[in-house]
């Protein structure tokens, strides 16, 4: 604070500039206007100030000081053009009458809608009638043949109301079609003016006339006309005309000497009738206006060292001041603006620089769950604006909003990596962008592209042999597809043949298979992955990738390559956050899936997972039973035959004895 006070005292001893003396203004070190910074904007560039603007004094201004307290203009609005940054406002949002500065909008609408400005038109009677004795006119007459561009010069330099009306009629015909009623052409053009105002965000503006002649419903604000002037400067044709001091129109069919225009803006042109010059070397254009109700008006722009300022002055009294008052005061306002528009280092604001981010695809072993601190690299970054607008953010940095973008925060991350950026927003369209730098390493999870192998369709209809149960086994060689080819579909792992499907199931402490569709959906596959530090973990997947390794899990029990109850053992596993297994999985629980036919062969340590087929002992037992049955039948037949023979012999013997 002592430094600020000392600087202020030194600045008060400096001589006032020639322009300020001429205007009767004594600018303070860095004063705050009465309404300065209201709804203002700051530049969006974050680079150091290379715009050449002279640095503002570092002295802290008095909060209630008005640098233009001795200027009587009721409406003043000063902005920086490229960014819309507000430097000063006096009743900037209060309704005012624009008078002939209206022609800025008329010119903009005409240029945007007339495809050929070199076109020569023949004027009817409508453009040249309906004006009073005090109207500012270019001097057009009925039947005159003149180009559209010449009338644009006549409207903006001479402020010709007749030129404005003629351009409005021609534009209406061009935009709406030649079929429109000529009596409606001007009102239709006015509708285009209001449409353009809405498009530009001139929310407090309403046009009724094309030339600015007074109407209570024809109004605007200094704020809105700063927007309009900014848009006019972006149009190269309009901007060129506004910057032209004098213009000669060639001879027409009615005026053999043509027309000669001197710009009504005295900051650009000293007219032949003037006894005093008010030229301002940095002025690049402007438009004047005057009515009894609007007073003297001037909308202008100036550029110095790459910085463009726009100044709106409305309402100068045409009874207490001369028409030159606006030209006398404008240079001093501009000089104050250029001197107070400078770059401010972001380090001058107590902004947040540490942000907690969460890395995408972080390792499941990361103790912080992928969260890490990223620091904003704000050294060397600055924002350019007027101290009067920036000051409120210095006093209360919480008014600066931050918008974080962490699109690059994806593991693996190394300390010092750029992982995103943060926008420090001063106003809606004004921000500084700083890179976010990671403050620690973050390991990544495995980077896997899933390419599922197509498997056979799973049946939900009870197949033949439903209810049969079989055990599992490990074989050095794969048996036929009926027993050693597996399919994974919709949470089910099964071996299929033409007559039955056998689904993997958990039976107590062992895994077996059963030909029952009720087992569908109970199996989860957890693929073995490695983070960027080489740590293994297991992530659930809904499909199988050829050649990948998985833990086969049902109800937190994993299939293990060891025997249990005549089948294969089930070992418990612990599911971690997000369904990831990070511990408790041994090599005996890891199964490789290799595509075969329409399914997979599943192996552990080069041994194949198979379901057991029918036993060979049963076959031989059955065969023996069949053989024994056959022997019994043969024996019975032989006994029967022998008995029959005995009976016949007995009959013969009895017959002989008789």
Over residues 359-400, the pLDDT tens digits come to 998 888 888 889 999 999 999 998 887 777 788 888 888 889
To 5 degrees, how large is the angle CA 644–CA 650–CA 656?
140
User: For residues 562 and 608, is the Cβ–Cβ distance under 8 A?
Assistant: no
State pLDDT tens for residues 479-501.
Answer: 666 678 888 888 888 887 666 67
pLDDT surpassing 90 at residue 191: yes
Which of 391, 405, 320, 290 is CA-nearest to residue 357? 405
Which of 28, 74, 107 is CA-nearest to residue 312? 74
Query: What are the residues whose beta carbons fall under 8 Å from the beta carbon of 600, sequence distance 6 or more?
Result: 453, 455, 485, 486, 487, 488, 544, 546, 593, 594
Query: What are the residues whose beta carbons fall under 8 Å from the beta carbon of 518, sequence distance 6 or more?
Result: none
Average pLDDT for 61-68:
68
| Angstrom distance (rounded) from CA 138 to CA 123 | 13
| Angstrom distance (rounded) from CA 77 to CA 225 | 9
Query: How confident is the prediction for the chain on average, in pLDDT?
Result: 83
User: If DSSP codes are grouped into helix, strand and coil, which group holds residue 572?
Assistant: strand
User: For residues 521 and 504, is the Cβ–Cβ distance under 8 A?
Assistant: no
pLDDT surpassing 80 at residue 626: yes
Of residues 507 and 43, the one with the higher pLDDT is 507
| Angstrom distance (rounded) from CA 36 to CA 339 | 16
User: For residues 610 and 479, is the Cβ–Cβ distance under 8 A?
Assistant: yes
State pLDDT tens for residues 582-600.
Answer: 888 999 999 999 988 778 9
| Angstrom distance (rounded) from CA 235 to CA 485 | 74
Which of 251, 78, 232, 73 is CA-nearest to residue 156? 232
| Angstrom distance (rounded) from CA 472 to CA 483 | 10
Burial degree of 507 (CB within 10 A; 0-12, 13-18, 19+): middle
Which of 174, 167, 173, 172 is CA-nearest to residue 153? 167
To 5 degrees, how large is the angle CA 382–CA 387–CA 388?
140
Instruction: Give the position of tokens 């009294």.
Output: 317
Average pLDDT for 622-635:
84
State pLDDT tens for residues 416-433.
Answer: 999 999 999 987 667 899
Extract the runs of DSSP E, i.e. beta strands, from 476-589. 486-489, 492-496, 501-507, 510-514, 524-530, 536-541, 549-554, 557-564, 567-572, 580-581
pLDDT surpassing 60 at residue 2: no
pLDDT surpassing 50 at residue 4: no
User: For residues 85 and 430, is the Cβ–Cβ distance under 8 A?
Assistant: yes
pLDDT at residue 516 in the model: 67
Specify the pTM. 0.56
Of residues 254 and 35, the one with the higher pLDDT is 254
Distances (CA, A) of 473 to 478, 564, 568: 11, 10, 7
pLDDT at residue 159 in the model: 96
User: For residues 155 and 163, is the Cβ–Cβ distance under 8 A?
Assistant: yes
Average pLDDT for 198-217:
97
DSSP calls for 575-634: --GGGEE-S---GGG-EEEEEETTEEEEEETTEEEEE----HHHHHHHHHHHHHHHHHHH
pLDDT at residue 472 in the model: 87
Distances (CA, A) of 186 to 191, 325, 516, 641: 9, 33, 85, 132
- If you ran DSSP here, which 8-state letter would residue 543 be given? S
pLDDT grade for 444, boundaries at 50, 70 and 90: confident
Q: Above pLDDT 90, what percent of the chain?
A: 51
Question: Phi, psi (5° rounding) for residue 480?
Answer: -65, 165
Which of 136, 48, 649, 43 is CA-nearest to residue 348? 48
Q: Which CATH architecture has domain 469-611?
A: Trefoil (2.80)
Instruction: Give the position of tokens 């035959």.
Output: 641
| Angstrom distance (rounded) from CA 203 to CA 175 | 24
State pLDDT tens for residues 99-153.
Answer: 999 999 999 999 999 999 999 999 999 999 999 888 999 999 999 999 999 999 9
Of residues 402 and 55, the one with the higher pLDDT is 402
pLDDT grade for 220, boundaries at 50, 70 and 90: very high
What fold does the segment set 97-264 form as a domain?
Answer: Beta-lactamase (3.40.710)
Of residues 2 and 622, the one with the higher pLDDT is 622
User: For residues 501 and 455, is the Cβ–Cβ distance under 8 A?
Assistant: no
């Amino acid at each position: 604070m002592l430094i600020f006070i000392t600087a202020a005292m030194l600045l008060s001893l400096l001589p006032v500039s020639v322009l300020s003396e001429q205007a009767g203004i004594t600018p303070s070190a860095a004063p705050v206007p009465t309404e300065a910074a209201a709804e203002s904007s700051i530049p969006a560039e974050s680079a150091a100030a290379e715009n050449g603007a002279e640095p503002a004094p570092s002295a802290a201004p008095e909060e209630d000081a008005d640098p233009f307290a001795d200027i009587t203009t009721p409406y003043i609005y000063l902005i920086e053009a490229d960014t819309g940054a507000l430097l000063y406002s006096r009743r900037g949002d209060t309704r005012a009458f624009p008078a002939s500065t209206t022609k800025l909008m008329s010119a903009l609408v005409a240029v945007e809608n007339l495809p050929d400005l070199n076109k020569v038109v023949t004027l009817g009677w409508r453009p040249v009638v309906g004006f009073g004795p005090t109207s500012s006119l270019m001097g057009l007459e009925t039947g005159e043949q003149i180009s559209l561009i010449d009338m644009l010069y006549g409207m903006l330099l001479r402020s010709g109301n007749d030129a404005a009306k003629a351009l409005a009629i021609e534009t209406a015909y061009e935009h709406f079609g030649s079929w429109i009623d000529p009596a409606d052409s001007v009102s239709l053009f006015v509708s285009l003016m209001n449409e353009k105002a809405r498009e530009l965000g001139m929310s407090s503006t309403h046009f009724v006339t094309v030339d600015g002649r007074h109407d209570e419903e024809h109004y605007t604000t200094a704020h809105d006309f700063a927007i309009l002037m900014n848009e006019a400067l972006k149009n190269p044709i309009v901007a060129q005309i506004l910057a032209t001091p004098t213009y000669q129109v060639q001879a027409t069919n009615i005026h053999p000497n043509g027309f000669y225009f001197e710009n009504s803006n005295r900051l650009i042109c000293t007219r032949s009738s003037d006894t005093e010059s008010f030229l301002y070397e940095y002025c690049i254009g402007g438009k004047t206006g005057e009515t009894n109700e609007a007073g003297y008006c001037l909308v202008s722009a100036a550029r110095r060292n790459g910085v463009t300022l726009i100044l709106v002055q409305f309402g100068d009294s045409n009874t207490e001041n001369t028409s030159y008052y606006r030209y006398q005061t404008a240079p001093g306002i501009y000089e104050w603006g250029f001197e107070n528009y400078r770059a401010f280092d972001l380090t001058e604001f107590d902004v947040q620089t540490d942000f907690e981010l969460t890395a995408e695809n972080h390792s499941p072993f990361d103790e912080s769950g992928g969260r890490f601190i990223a620091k904003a690299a704000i050294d060397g970054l600055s924002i350019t604006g007027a101290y009067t607008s920036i000051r409120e953010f210095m006093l209360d940095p919480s008014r600066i909003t931050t918008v974080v973008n962490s699109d690059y925060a994806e593991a693996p991350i190394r300390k010092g990596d750029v992982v995103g950026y943060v926008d420090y927003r001063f106003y809606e369209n004004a921000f500084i962008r700083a890179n976010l730098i990671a403050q620690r390493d973050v390991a990544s999870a495995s980077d896997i592209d899933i390419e599922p192998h197509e498997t056979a369709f799973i049946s939900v209809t009870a197949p033949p042999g439903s209810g049969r149960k079989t055990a599992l086994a490990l074989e050095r060689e794969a048996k036929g597809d009926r027993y050693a080819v597996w399919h994974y579909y919709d949470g089910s792992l099964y071996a299929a043949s033409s007559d039955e499907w056998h689904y993997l199931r958990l039976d107590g402490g062992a895994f077996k298979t059963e030909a029952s569709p009720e087992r569908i959906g109970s199996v989860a596959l957890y693929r073995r992955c490695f983070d960027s530090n080489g740590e293994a973990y297991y992530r659930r997947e809904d499909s199988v990738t050829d050649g990948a390794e998985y833990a086969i899990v049902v109800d937190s029990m994993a299939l293990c390559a060891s025997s249990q109850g005549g089948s294969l053992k089930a070992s418990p596993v612990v599911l971690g956050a997000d369904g990831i297994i990070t511990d408790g999985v041994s090599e005996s629980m890891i199964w490789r899936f290799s595509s075969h036919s329409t399914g997979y062969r599943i192996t552990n340590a080069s041994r194949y997972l198979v379901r057991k087929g029918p036993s060979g002992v049963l076959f031989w037992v059955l065969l023996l039973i069949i053989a024994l049955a056959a022997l019994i039948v043969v024996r019975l037949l032989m006994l029967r035959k022998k008995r029959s023979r005995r009976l016949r012999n007995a009959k013969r013997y009895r017959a002989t004895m008789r």
